[in-house]
Structure 1
Amino acid sequence: MKQIAIVAGGPALNIPELKQRQHSFHYWIGCDRGAYEIIDQNLPLNMAIGDFDSVTKQERIAIENYADKVISYNVEKDASDLELAVEHSLTLGEVMLTFFGVTGGRLDHELMVIFLLEKLLKVGIPASIIDQQNIIQLYKPGKYQVEKDSRYPIISFLPVTDSVTSLSLTGFYYPLQSAHVTRGDSLTLSNHLDHEYGHFSFDTGILMMIRSSEQVK
């Protein structure tokens, strides 16, 4: 499975240090200004895509000279640069997508990406969002293991659907056994692992796991 990094043009301060993650990904895609962010962090830019309305003329030239492939679109179109990047990434075979630069800016864009995670989950494509302070992932019913990560120690679970049923947490500071959790409940906020590994499971619904840190590191 190819690990694909998709970098959008959100606030640079909210994008984590990408250089240290370089070898975690097989392919780097830059959306609009995200392409220049990839260049700025001295990473390979396998594909630059978008209408490039968020870069200067000089930055556009730099992107065109640096990228292995550039796909340009008109400003007026029926899909966002990010969604177009996802469509092109799916032509690369079996993929796992990680989005950077999609939080901390416009709320409509941020919510759209979270909904996009759900859309991808339903067709069996694993995807996540990572920023300086959070990792966001969605899950279908099943049993899962979580490993402790000192960079993102706080773990919260939120139903994306109206509810999730039989949610159980083991290895967490606040354990849970077969709970019915509805969207809007705060029961499963701000937990953390009590051991090196924890486990969670649920029977129905779609569940969001957000791993966070109190302070940006």
Structure 2
Amino acid sequence: MTKVGIVAAGPVAEIPDLTAYPHIDYWIGVDEGAKHLYDLGIKTDLVMGDFDSLDSNLIEKIKSNARNVIEFPAIKDETDLELAFIEAINEKPEQVLVFGATGGRLDHAWINVQLMKLFSEHHIDAWLINKQNEMSLKLPGTYDMIQDSLFPYVSFLAYSEKVENLSLKGFKYPLNETTIVQGSSLTISNEWSEKKGTYFFTSGILLVIKSRD
């Protein structure tokens, strides 16, 4: 099982303790995210970015901490993080965890959520993670979720215009083949009622968010 961790350039205050993720096999640092990995003493497998916001001396130290480096021009069509997502997909991982991609600028945070669809299209279990939330975009199918004591609340939101035949089992508020639409709060702040919950839907794109207060 290959698990990839991507650390983006979002506010460090939003990033949980990365040393608590020893199961990650392959680390990608993106711009200032690479600096955060360097500061933590985590050996980075790939460093990516245009590095336009970092001191040149620091850039060399960060690069020396990495097994591989990909540097781009500052002016390009894709964001650094989108290019990092593509590199992660090329590793053919089973799971990708993305840190430092929320908080700060809302335009960056929102496009980062949208970019998660890249992983869904390749059948990769991927999550955006900060200190209070974990979120994922899912395409139609059946999924299991193990009860997570760190994140007691779980919401199922329509990312597409509608999500059809959503069923929830093992949760405090179950559903049976229900269509949910954008803008509805029906499926927000659910909780586990069993150690494993299962959700299923037949069409649309579902945004799943685990959270805590």
Distance 1:204 1:132, change over 3 A: same
- Rounded to whole Å, the distance in 1 between the matches of 2:105 and 2:66 is 27
> What SS does the corresponding residue of 2:200 show, helix, strand or coil?
strand
Is the contact between residue 121 and residue 127 of structure 1 (CA under 8 Å) also seen in structure 2? yes
Which AA in structure 1 matches 2:98? F
1:16-54 CA distance string (max 9 Å, x none): 1000102x1111010000001011122111111100122
Partner residue in 2 for 1:212: 211
1:150 equivalent in alignment to 2:137: no
> What SS does the corresponding residue of 1:30 show, helix, strand or coil?
strand
Which AA in structure 2 matches 1:213? R
Partner residue in 2 for 1:185: 184
Which AA in structure 2 matches 1:59? L
1:57-101 CA distance string (max 9 Å, x none): 332122022111121111111111111112222333445322110
Is the contact between residue 19 and residue 42 of structure 1 (CA under 8 Å) also seen in structure 2? no
Aligned residues: 213
Percent of residue pairs bearing the same amino acid type: 38
1:8 equivalent in alignment to 2:26: no
Instruction: Map 1:114-193 to 2 at 5 A.
Output: 114-193=113-192
1:161-183 CA distance string (max 9 Å, x none): 11111111122111222211001
> What SS does the corresponding residue of 1:119 show, helix, strand or coil?
helix
- Rounded to whole Å, the distance in 1 between the matches of 2:95 and 2:195 is 25
User: Which runs of no fewer than 5 residues in structure 1 stay unpaired?
Assistant: none
Please identify, of 65-74 and 29-38, the stretch whose mean Cα deviation from structure 2 is larger.
Answer: 65-74
1:73-132 CA distance string (max 9 Å, x none): 111111111111122223334453221100011111111111111133123333211111
1:101 equivalent in alignment to 2:109: no
> What SS does the corresponding residue of 2:209 show, helix, strand or coil?
strand
> What SS does the corresponding residue of 2:191 show, helix, strand or coil?
coil
1:132-174 CA distance string (max 9 Å, x none): 1111112222222211111111100101111111111122111
- Rounded to whole Å, the distance in 2 between the matches of 1:27 and 1:102 is 18
Is the contact between residue 89 and residue 119 of structure 2 (CA under 8 Å) also seen in structure 1? no
Partner residue in 2 for 1:111: 110
Which AA in structure 2 matches 1:2? T
> What SS does the corresponding residue of 2:67 show, helix, strand or coil?
coil
User: Which runs of no fewer than 5 residues in structure 2 stay unpaired?
Assistant: none
Distance 1:42 1:208, change over 3 A: same
> What SS does the corresponding residue of 2:51 show, helix, strand or coil?
coil
- Rounded to whole Å, the distance in 2 between the matches of 1:163 and 1:82 is 28
Task: Tell me the TM-score normalized by structure 2.
Answer: 0.94
> What SS does the corresponding residue of 1:46 show, helix, strand or coil?
strand
Which AA in structure 2 matches 1:81? D
Task: Tell me the TM-score normalized by structure 1.
Answer: 0.92
Instruction: Map 1:47-66 to 2 at 5 A.
Output: 47-66=46-65
- Rounded to whole Å, the distance in 2 between the matches of 1:195 and 1:90 is 33
